[in-house]
Structure 1
Amino acid sequence: MNANYEFTVAERFLRYATIDTQSDPYSQTVPSTEKQKDLSRVLVEELRSIGIADAALDEKGYVYATIPATTDKTVPVICFCSHVDTSSDCPGYNVKPIVHRNYDGKNIVLPDDPNQIIRPPDHPYLKTKKGEDIITASGTTLLGADDKAGVAIIMDLTNYLVQHPEIKHGVIKILFTPDEEIGRGVDHVDLARLGADFGYTLDGGPRGGYTGETFSANGVTVTFLGNSIHPGYAKNKLVNAIKIAAAFIDLLPRDSFSPETTEEREGFVHPVHMDGTAEKATVSFIIRDFDTKRLKLHETRLEEFAKQAVGKFSGSSYTFESSEQYRNMKEIVDQYPEIETCAKIAMERSGVVFQKYSARGGTDGSRLSFMGVPFPDIFTGEMAFHGKHEYVSIQDMQKSVETLVNLVQVWEERSGEQRTGG
């Protein structure tokens, strides 16, 4: 990469972070919030100003763009993808990003709420960032580095490649998606329009990170049915569905089976929403495990708790509904080892130590892999996402841009070598 290049990734990220793009899990529209398109329209305008003529936003909130090939070789079409939405778990309006230059390794007190303190003992990765430039929010909102850091990285990559046509690469596709945070990020993606053979999401954490494995995921809704009677005349008649649901929740183990008690390769069952009346109450869960077969075991155990709860209330009943959300990308990505090989070579050329991770979550790439385009994830530097202590290193984002510049060249250089997988 040209040593004299002035990265634009930080400047872009600081602008993108101020645009409210939170998605809404309870909305039935596509995208779930119209405001996500506010950023998408900016991206289309910037892509066109860079020189990407076909950049376009469709009615469902997807941005598609193509960086034309600069080689005569036949090279697999590679896509880079990030999502524009931010999580609804934390306030995301009026984000005020702050750059902490030459970070001194000490606590970072966020000025708009001094009670919000990012402490290095609580964030081991932050300890390694002394001397770098750290971006945080101001203390009352999330930052949005998940995944606007990825968006800014892809935009800076595009800017660099257009400025340096001497770099040899194949056709590169760009995809920006809405609604990833609520599990709908690729519901309406047009794969024919995308036209990619392989891809990489830019939605990962520490520098050097490569994620080729994610959780497999299901969603479960348990509905409890009671019997609603006027409370003044309810003796021996009322069966309160809210109390049944509460008894059900109380049966969940406190020392296992949950996100707060598991780590590494352990799966979990997690209640995420509950509502109801005396007549009917529902509890929604996410079910996660690296081993897809274990999802059914977790659901069976959960349903046993539902049966026990109903057994405590005569005249009550329940329904148990399960739906697939996404699957462990490893099942697909491992069939194409050149995807990882190229990423590893690119990181090594960028002076980055390659680190392979298994993500206790999922990305757009999880579903895209099973839709026919293998799609692992590459680091952006985003950390502590979905909360007020979210941060990202400018130097991490720059290294990600450099990695992608090298990555497209590695694919071009290796074109013609025998590909594996099926």
Structure 2
Amino acid sequence: MITKEAIIKRFISYVTVDTESDPKSDTTPSTAKQWDLAHALAKELIAIGMKDVTIDPNAYIMATLPSNVDHDVPTIGFISHFDTSPDFTGANVKPRVIENYDGKDIALNAEHNIILSPDYFEDLLLYKGQTLIVTDGTTLLGADDKAGITEIVSAMEYLINHPEIKHGDIKVGFTPDEEIGRGAHKFDVEKFGADWAYTMDGSQIGELEYENFNAAGATVTVKGKIVHPGYAKGKMVNSMYIATEFINSLPRLETPEHTEGYQGFFHLYSVEGKVEETVLQYIIRDHDMAHFEARKEVMQNLTNEINTQYEREVITIDIKDQYFNMKEKVEPVKHIVDIAEEAMKLLDIEPLIKPIRGGTDGSQLSYMGLPCPNIFAGGHNFHGRYEYVPVESMIKATEVICKIAELTAEKALK
């Protein structure tokens, strides 16, 4: 059996390495510190007995667990990312292990009165009696996606040490910069050599996802005119007021905090403004392609409408597609989802098949020719101080990887 102690030790060794990515960087990886964990992971894969371990100039790591059967089996892969979100600091992570969680409030940081409470985060109650790993309230944890890496490495080590479990060739891949939407940009699908793969990048135990948002980013730039305020009548143009008009003209209830399920949204995540210039950063999300295109059109039309109110062009918008719904690429090979679902059921895990309200490397990889559904990694409350992961969920995810490998080999005989 995979032990709690081994999972905890491996996970903590990963999350205490700062790997925060940077959307403003144009390098790959976007931050030099991602190399620290990348090099450590490559060495660890070699140490546990993986073959063909490589790390390329962009920090993409690949390795192979060779088949231990004499019949043809599809080559499958498991993928996770090692960067953490720039939304909240990942420096000096101080994880804390809570044994036998009692279902009550957890004081993450008594000094600053930072409380992880089931009154607000109801999912905590799913894990009463289990072992949780939490933050100290000053950083994120990094379970997104170092839990996934923990599970993949642990599964490979288990399969190596238990050759009685039969499997075909298994590929593993670890990527940088997923959190800034570039995790799959330089992933060499041909070199990876898998027929299909799974990202271990979901949240709650049981999650199995093969639908995700269509995604775009939008930069809205508003130009004003600065004049001494004492002599500004009829001359000053305050870009911040125009930006406020743009913000307030978008549907207020079509934002992340008011939507769920298949509902899309406009999300304003950054504002930098002075009188002379204000820059708004948005992300646009929708599962339905027609609705997605309509959302982009709404923002472009609003830009045009505001410009008609002025004698010059005061506002511009730059919209760039980021990734698309992988459903289109996975549904034709739906058996790869069925195998994962069967693996969960055999392990007494209730599959939770639902759309991802976000993105994953798997969405881009699916469009690059590598169909890639997403499986739970176990963490909750990603990208912030309230992030936590139940150790039992990581163990179950590790078992799911092993079971998928076993089932794939079994089905290849039929």
Q: Is TM > 0.5 for Structure 1 vs Structure 2?
A: yes
255, 261, 266: which one pairs with 1:264?
261
Aligned pairs for 1:18-417 within 5 A: 18-111=16-109, 113-227=111-225, 234-254=232-252, 256-415=253-412, 417=414
Secondary structure, aligned partner of 2:401: helix
In 1: Cα distance, 2:5 partner to 2:281 partner: 44
Alpha-carbon shift at residue 231 of structure 1 (Å) = 5.8
> Could you tell me which amino acid in structure 1 is paired with residue 278 of structure 2?
A
SS of the equivalent of 1:224 reads: strand
Q: 1:132 to 1:362 in 2, by over 3 A?
A: same
Note the C-alpha offset of 1:315.
3.1
Deviation string for 1:271-310 (max 9, x for gaps)?
Answer: 2223355444332211101101211211222233323433
CA contact (8 A) 2:76 2:194 kept: yes
One-letter code aligned to 1:135: I
Q: Can you list the C-alpha shifts for 1:152-194, whole angstroms capped at 9, x where unaligned?
A: 0001011101111222111111110000111010111111211
1:258 counterpart letter in structure 2: T
User: 2-side partners of 1:318 and 1:197: how far apart?
Assistant: 46
What letter matches 1:156 in structure 2? S
Following TM superposition, by how much is the alpha carbon of 1:202 offset from its aligned partner in structure 2, in angstroms?
0.4
Aligned residues: 414
> Deviations for 1:248-271, whole angstroms, at most 9, x for unmatched residues?
1232333x1211111121100112
Question: Secondary structure of the residue that 1:81 maps to in structure 2?
Answer: strand
Q: Deviation digits for residues 53-91 of structure 1, max 9, x if unmatched?
A: 422221111111111111112111111000001111112
* Corresponding residue SS for 1:352: coil
Structure-2 separation of matches of 1:320 and 1:298:
13
SS at match of 1:157: helix
Q: CA separation in 2, counterparts of 1:91 and 1:345?
A: 38
Deviations 1:347-383 (A, max 9, x none): 1221211221211101000110111111011111110
- Alignment partner for residue 10 of structure 1, among 8, 11, 33? 8
Q: Is the 8 A contact 1:173 1:194 kept in 2?
A: yes
Q: Is residue 109–residue 115 contact of structure 2 (8 Å, CA) maintained in 1?
A: no
Give the direction of change, closer, same or farther, for the CA distance of 1:154–1:298 in structure 2 (3 Å limit). same
- The Cα shift of 1:14 comes to 1.2
Equivalent pair of 1:112/1:140 in contact (CA under 8 Å): no
Q: Matches of 1:4 and 1:157 in 2, distance apart?
A: 9
Q: Conserved in 2, the CA contact under 8 Å of 1:113 and 1:138?
A: no
| More deviation, 146-155/307-316 | 307-316
Q: Tell me, which stretches of 5 or more residues in structure 2 are unaligned?
A: none
Aligned-partner residue type, residue 89 of structure 1: D
Residues of 1 paired with 2:2 and 2:323: CA distance? Answer: 42
Pick closer, same or farther for the CA change 1:113–1:361 going to 2, 3 Å: farther
Using the TM superposition, give the Cα deviation of residue 31 of structure 1 relative to its aligned residue in structure 2, in angstroms: 0.9
- Return the letter of the residue paired with 2:113: N
- What TM-score does the superposition give when structure 2 sets the normalisation length? 0.95
| Cα distance in 1, alignment partners of residues 375 and 284 from structure 2 | 25
**Secondary structure at the counterpart of residue 211 of structure 2:** strand
The alpha-carbon deviation at position 228 of structure 1 amounts to 5.0
What letter matches 1:73 in structure 2?
A: H
Partners of 1:228 and 1:240 within 8 A in 2? yes
Distance 1:81 1:286 in 2: 25
Identity between Structure 1 and Structure 2 (%) = 43
Query: Would you say the 8 A contact 2:2–2:395 is kept in 1?
Result: no
Give the C-alpha shift of residue 395 in structure 1.
Answer: 0.5
Provide the secondary structure at the position in 2 that maps to 1:281.
strand
1:378 to 1:205, Cα distance in 2 relative to 1, 3 A: same
CA offset at residue 227 of structure 1?
A: 4.3
Distance in 1 between residues matched to 2:6 and 2:382, nearest whole Å: 22
Distance 1:199 1:310 in 2: 47
Is the Cα–Cα contact under 8 Å of residues 81 and 175 in structure 1 kept in the other structure? yes
1:104 Cα offset (Å)? 0.8
Answer whether contact 1:248 1:308 (CA < 8 A) is retained: no
Shift of 1:52: 1.6
C-alpha separation in 2, matches of 1:302 and 1:111: 41
Runs of 5+ consecutive residues of structure 1 not aligned to the other structure: 418-422
Residues 95 and 141, structure 1, Cα contact 8 Å, conserved in 2:
yes
In the superposition, relative to structure 1, how do residues 284 and 208 fare at CA in structure 2: closer, same or farther (>3 Å)? same
CA distance in 1, matches of 2:51, 2:181: 30
TM-score for the superposition, normalised by structure 1: 0.93
**2:384 alignment partner AA:** G
